[in-house]
Structure 1
Amino acid sequence: MILTGPAIAAARAAGEISIEPYAPGRVSPNAYDWRLGETLYVCDGQLDAARPTTAAELAIPSDRFVLRPGVLYLGSTYEKTSSERYVQLLNGSRTIGALGIWVHVSAPLGHQGHAIHWTLEIRAAVGVRIYPRMTFGKLTFLHPFGAAASYQSHGLKYATSTGVEASRLYEELT
């Protein structure tokens, strides 16, 4: 079951969900409206799954940054979120999609216990201006069925993420 906006607010007040920083006005009918962080990694050129990703890190200027088509950008959410009780799903918003921006295409699932600034895979269909801390998507919370298994206790490779994380698939291939 998906939590409604009032249920998200109540779960946060009860300590079952953590969203930092939290703004009550960002709670929508069935989600929390998350924001883009302040840093991007620009991945130009060829990527190789068997090697670490090379990318240029840049702070998103407060007056704007123009996303270019054909470039992969890695970003992160401004908010850090977690829940030992609920599963999280991160999506871009319809508003961002209407600007031709694809956000977080491949990994929307936040396991129970995963406390993170989400890494975003960002692509643009056309040149589009973005700004740090702009609303970029929606985070929903789901009540899982079955025994809980915390992400943190499994020692998985992204358990200690603190911001933008490039692919670490090369760890499995080498």
Structure 2
Amino acid sequence: MILTGRAIANAVARGDIAIDPYDPCRLSPNAYDWRLGERIRTCEDVLDAARPTDFAESVIPDAGMTLVPGVLYLGVTHERTWSERYAQFLNGDRTIGSLGIWVHVSAPLGHTGHAIAWTLEIRVARPVRVYPGMTFGKLVFLHTFGATASYQQHGRKYTASTGIDISRLYQELLSDGGQP
């Protein structure tokens, strides 16, 4: 079940959900409108699942930054979110979709207990200018069923994530005897 905007506000007030920074004006009927953070990484070279990704990181200027097709950008949400009670689902929305921006298609689930500023996978259909702090999508909170297990307590590979994070699949490949 998806929480309504009012239920999200109540859960924030009770401490069951943390959104930092939190702005009640960003609540919509069934979600919270999240914003693009100020940093972005550009991944232009060949990506290799068995090696850490090379990237260039920059700050998105207040005047904006033009994203171009054919480049993988890794961004970060302005907000950091957490809940031990609810799972989270992060998506883009029609606002940015209408600009030809695809965001966070492959990893939208935030497990219970995962306290993060979300790493965003961003691709564009045409050149488009983006700005730090612009609305970039919706965050939905979901009731979980069954016994919950905190992401933090299981020592998952992204537990210590503090912002933009590259793929860590290479760690699994190395531990499974894969080729570095």
TM-score range, shorter chain: over 0.9
How far 1:168 sits from its partner (Å)? 0.6
Q: Which deviations, in whole Å up to 9, do the C-alpha atoms of 1:6-41 show, x marking residues without a partner?
A: 000000000000000000100000000000000000
CA–CA distance in 1 between the matches of 2:173 and 2:161?
A: 20
Percent identity over paired residues: 69
Are 2:45 and 2:54, in contact at CA under 8 Å, matched by a contact in 1?
Answer: no
- TM-score (normalised: structure 1): 0.99
Q: Which sections of structure 1, spanning at least 5 residues, go unmatched?
A: none
Match of 1:70, SS? coil
Match of 2:149 in 1: 149
| One-letter identity of the residue aligned with 1:137 | G
- 2:131 is the alignment partner of 1:131: yes
- TM-score (normalised: structure 2): 0.96
Alignment of 1:72-91 (within 5 A): 72-91=72-91
Match of 2:153, SS? helix
Paired residue total: 174
CA–CA distance in 2 between the matches of 1:51 and 1:140?
A: 33
Match of 1:123, SS? strand
Q: CA RMSD in A?
A: 0.4
CA–CA distance in 2 between the matches of 1:101 and 1:132?
A: 15
CA–CA distance in 1 between the matches of 2:82 and 2:162?
A: 12
Match of 2:91, SS? strand
How far 1:126 sits from its partner (Å)? 0.2
Alignment of 1:9-48 (within 5 A): 9-48=9-48
CA–CA distance in 1 between the matches of 2:172 and 2:157?
A: 10
